[in-house]
Structure 1
Amino acid sequence: MGARSSKTLYSLAVLALAGLMVGTALAQAPASTPAQRAELGRHLFYDPLLSSDGTVACASCHQPQRAFTDGRATSLGAGGRAGVRSAPSLVNVGARTRLFWHGGSPSLELQALGPLSDHNEHDLSPGEVVARLRGSRYAPDFERLYGRPADLSALTDALAAFQRSIVSYQSPFDRYSAGDAGAMSEAAVRGLDLFYGKAECFHCHAGRNLSDNLPHNNALLLFNPDIGLASLTGHDSDVGKFITPTLRNVALTAPYMHAGQLQTLPEVVAHYNSGGEPNPNADPLIRPLNLTPQEEADLVAFLESLTDPAVATNPAWGRPHSVAGENP
């Protein structure tokens, strides 16, 4: 593929510079608790102030009733412009170390700068972001919590503090794992055995968050210009590789895959059961599984058992009453 694009190099340079800003600024911050910073972040997360046309908030694409996704194949940003990827879930996102679908950001603080400046998302320059914050009702909050006027490092810290508070481990699967034998249906229990047995899902969907946090090509044909990890590395072998998403609350996050190519969980299971589509970079773990129709249904039942209903209703993660508008 050759060298990285100038846009990619620029983006990486911005992220590196921002990392220095965040570390320096936070070292100078006065005492404030993570809960206080998270509450400020929650207000900012739901406020469309930080978009060029005043219509897009973080919550526009990350809605609690959809496990902090938006139900679209590819998300819409300022001016109604469509991006090229599906909004990933933010549930337990604080545990992830590779953010964005291609894994290009190592932290939530740095990740926030991407959508803020992206033309197809919030569409604001760094200077515009700071000017809006300093002229907003949030200006006193930044002075109180950070001891200085609002800036990018304080903004991204507050947003990250809120997102790290979105922690969910109360699904039927969690209760079953803790010893409640009646928490899951018989079909879901059979699906659990398949997940860690014949279907071998656990190779990529590993650990407490059911993600190895690594890039894989999942044997889907590419129908859009998004080439995944290769946009960062420039390597042909990385074309179509994306970070494994969490399966927690996956029944709420349709459509599936990085660009919403599959609409339902049965379609996802059928894709992997078939061994995927012809793709030179397909992960060698993806091969025909020979699951029966009943086994496919049981696997879907297990995936549905990963839903924690409290994600959609926890008031600590919902829209603050002081932010205008209806819950997304």
Structure 2
Amino acid sequence: MRGVLIIGSLVLLSGFFVAFNATKNPISVYEVDIPVGFPELEFPEGNALTQTRVELGRMLFYDPILSVDSTVSCASCHNQTLAFADNKVISPGVEGRLGMRNAPTLANVGYNPTLLFDGFLKTLEMQVLVPIQEHAEFNSNIVDIAEKLKKDSLYVRMSVEAYERLPDPYVITRAISSFERTLISGNSKYDQQVYQKNNVMNRSEKRGMNLFFNELNCVECHSGFNFTDFSVQNNGLYEVYADSGRQRATKIEADRAIFKVPTLRNIALTAPYMHDGSIATLEEVIMHYESGGKSHLNKSEKIKPFQLSKRERKDLIRFLECLTDYEFITNPAFSNPFE
């Protein structure tokens, strides 16, 4: 390991040094393009977006150095072409280990008031620690990761430029969070129709939109600009759940088998569905809700049976496909910087 010495505004490592001075090197602010209909992003104190913070976070997001054996990165489970979700029921971690939950999309994750299917963690900075330490994910230690990063001159330089400190847990969690806050998706066919006032949706898609918003009132849970009310609910998926849901974190029986309502943006790309990836297609998801779900003590009162014709079901699926943002899944600003 290289020797490290900090003297005033100089960070010295054997073979090179990095100087920083906030007054002489003005911060390059990262401009976020907020889509029409979206609220402004909020940032935690001390972690406003800058170019270097976002780029450092992007590198860390794609770098398998975060896992104990350098085989798995954040991007291993959150693929850009799949709207930063995965197409596997459960994404494998180090040594092929499997956890219990399906990888959710990171689209618009910076707007989430709570994180994980538990809806329990309050900040992205806290969430970053979860996969790092999970045995079935990275099985690593953030302090050990920081030591590895200190041996890389580029990571050292960027850490100092971004946060005026060497790579450490503070830098790692905040940089990755900064990159994730830029993952904004708001240019789907639906957005073009509703917010940009372009008549791009066909008759089937419009009929499906009417079903979604009016006849079926799906917006009781999937409301707002991000198609979620961010609440936690039981949707009657099982009578007995292998995963205790939010109750795992709170230990409260009323939270058993309660999971966060997911965003429906890019939903056509994020199969399989549900917290455990147990439903393969959108049609099967709709049929689950048509059935009214299974009995469970904590099942939401909003889950009630209904009936659709074959055409109506097709129309609803066509509308959900209108929530796909193709610009988002091809944006080079979000892609792997190592390729």
Which TM-score band applies after superposition, normalised by the shorter structure? 0.7 to 0.9
CA distance in 2, matches of 1:41, 1:77: 20
Match of 2:40 in 1: none
> For this pair of structures, how many residues does the alignment match?
294
1:210: how far off? 0.4
Look up the equivalent residue of 2:204 and give its one-letter code. Answer: A
Deviation of the 1:213 alpha carbon: 0.6
Per the alignment, residue 287 of structure 1 pairs with: 304
Q: Which residue of 1 aligns with 2:6?
A: none
Which of 58, 80, 83 is matched with 1:64 structurally? Answer: 80
Give distance in 1, aligned partners of 2:176 and 2:240: 33
Whole-Å separation in 2 of the counterparts to 1:107 and 1:97: 7
**Aligned equivalent of 1:158, options 151, 175, 187:** 175
How does 1:231-310 map onto structure 2 within 5 Å?
231-310=248-327
Q: SS where residue 284 of structure 1 aligns?
A: coil
Superposed displacement of residue 237, structure 1: 2.0
Match of 2:166 in 1: 149
Using the alignment, how far apart are the partners of 2:238 and 2:80 within structure 1?
Answer: 30
How far apart are 1:51 and its partner, in Å? Answer: 0.4
After superposition, give the CA deviation of every residue in 1:108-154 in whole Å (9 maximum; x if it has no partner). 11110111111111111232122122123412211222111111111
Q: Using the alignment, how far apart are the partners of 1:170 and 1:126 within structure 2?
A: 35
Amino acid at match of 1:172: K
Question: Where does residue 182 of structure 1 map in the other structure?
Answer: 199
The AA in structure 2 aligned to 1:284 is E
Looking at structure 1, the residues matched to 54 and 78 of structure 2 have their Cα atoms a distance apart, in angstroms, of 16
Shift of residue 181 of structure 1? 5.0
- Structure index of larger Rg: 2
> Offset of 1:232 from its aligned partner?
1.6
* 1:95 and 2:97 are equivalent in the alignment: no
Contact 1:50/1:132 (8 A) holds in 2: no
Q: Which has the higher helix share?
A: 1
Give the Å deviation of 1:164. Answer: 0.7
The alpha carbon displacement at 1:289 in A equals: 1.5
SS in 2 for 1:83: coil
Instruction: Give the superposition deviation at 1:319.
Output: 0.5
Structure 2 residue 145 is the aligned partner of structure 1 residue 129: yes
- 8 Å contact from structure 2 (residues 55, 179) kept in 1: yes
Aligned pair partner of 1:315 in 318, 328, 332: 332
> Could you tell me which residue of structure 2 aligns to residue 118 of structure 1?
134
CA distance in 1, matches of 2:105, 2:324: 12
- Partner Cα distance (1:42, 1:223) in 2: 39
Which residue identity does 2:220 align to in structure 1? H
Aligned residue type for 2:252? H
Match of 2:323, as an amino acid? L
Paired letter, 1:44: L
Q: Alpha-carbon deviation of 1:35?
A: 2.2
User: Where in structure 1 are there 5+ consecutive unaligned residues?
Assistant: 1-28
Task: Please give the alpha-carbon distance, in whole angstroms, between the structure 2 residues aligned to 1:44 and 1:222.
Answer: 40
User: Higher RCO, 1 or 2 (CA under 8 Å, sep at least 6)?
Assistant: 1
- The answer to whether the 8 Å contact 1:98/1:104 transfers is yes
Structure 2 CA distance, aligned partners of 1:195 and 1:251? 15
| Equivalence for 2:53 | 37
Q: Which residue of 2 aligns with 1:24?
A: none
CA root-mean-square deviation: 1.6
Q: CA deviation at 1:278?
A: 2.3
Q: CA deviation at 1:36?
A: 1.8
- Equivalent residue for 2:15? none
Q: Deviations over 1:37-80 (max 9, x none)?
A: 10111111111011011110000000000000111111111111
User: Shift of residue 193 of structure 1?
Assistant: 0.6
Identical amino acids, percent of aligned pairs: 39
Structure 2 Cα separation of the partners of residues 309 and 56 of structure 1:
26
The reply on whether 1:109 has 2:125 as its aligned counterpart is yes
Distance in structure 1 (CA, Å) of the matches to 2:304 and 2:311: 19
Where 2:293 maps in the other structure, the secondary structure is coil
Deviation at 1:95?
Answer: 0.6
